[in-house]
Chain A
């Protein structure tokens, strides 16, 4: 929008393109990180359906498990898993930005804040794997 007046200089305003996020890899990564929330929501829905089927008995659960084996859902869930991992990793890495923890006057390093998140992730995943795989 040009606005010529007697006193103010005319200026040129560039509009941001709809495809601005394709201009740089960092922006693409940001959009993927934001889009990952859709896949996180899908995984939540699947988990809720599984819990509902479990409460209704073995027959319902088996039926749900069977329907989840369709190639379409298998593909969707594989893609979702990739996005959920991407979501977790990016947010774990961003956690040190939002948290300033001082210990004996010195600021804790980014690694010291991000690492416990990863450790908790591995421990909880291992615990769930142990519960599922032992019997």
Chain B
């Protein structure tokens, strides 16, 4: 194994750059190094002005998502040696506005996430001294979707979101479904309008790449397809049953 590898890192300074440009850096290639280690090496030893987000270094916080050779990846879980002999292209996540270097503006996702009401909604609250019991089977129904860490790799992989930024996107829908499937939740009808909207689940054309790039095996594509079935049944029910019937 060669002991050095070249990184092509996107640089963009909004103060004086018209558009982002690649810059190359040579870093040590160590077996145990991930792409994030290489970026930290650049920041510590080669260019302290390089900006990127990171925090936990263990695939939990979801901050360090970037495009590595064109594919959305958590850079803390992407080994450099897998890209040897290089060069490795590191770019900011696709489909998001770039603020500086590898840092993107995630506001759009955060607004969409809040709109899908990803929290437990109760029509009737139990008294404070009573618990909400849940069987292992009931938990199993939503657990997969609850593993989402909001890293937004699915948005960077989704061509629908890239072409139409109004689309709610994979993670927001998967998280809505996570609460819809929770036996303690009573808010499915509150989420129906926002999910069943043209820019909600029906915007999805089932490319399936959101699921491929998800580092937590959340499978947002499945969440969306399953909700399409639910929304269709709700629509049929509303059509066939008299108004007010449940």
Contacts and interface: CB of A to CB of B under 8 A. Distances in A.
Contact of A9 (B70, B99, B205, B207): B99
B205 A105 contact: no
A97 B225 contact: yes
Contacts of B12: 12
Contacts of A59: none
A107 B140 contact: yes
Interface in A16-73: 16, 20-21, 23-24, 26-27, 30, 34
Chain B interface size, under 10 / 10 to 19 / 20 to 34 / 35 or more: 20 to 34
Given A23-B70, A100-B226, A12 B163 contact: no
B87 interface: no
A128 interface: no
Contacts of B94: 14
Decide if the interface of chain B is mainly helix, strand, loop or mixed: mixed
A97 B222 contact: yes
Chain A interface size, under 10 / 10 to 19 / 20 to 34 / 35 or more: 20 to 34
A37 to B, nearest CB: 12
B129 interface: no
A100 B219 CA distance: 13
A4 B86 CA distance: 37
Given A12-B19, A16-B162, A97-B221, A26 B209 contact: yes
Given A16-B159, A105-B137, A94 B97 contact: no
B162 A20 contact: yes
B97 A26 contact: no
Nearest to A10: B14
Contact of A13 (B97, B163, B229): B97
Nearest to B137: A105
A23 to B, nearest CB: 6
Contact of B207 (A11, A14, A27, A105): A27
Interface string B49-78: 000000000000000000000110000000
A-B pairs with the 5 shortest C-beta distances?
A11-B97, A98-B225, A10-B14, A16-B162, A97-B222
Interface of A: 2, 9-14, 16, 20-21, 23-24, 26-27, 30, 34, 94, 97-100, 102, 105, 107
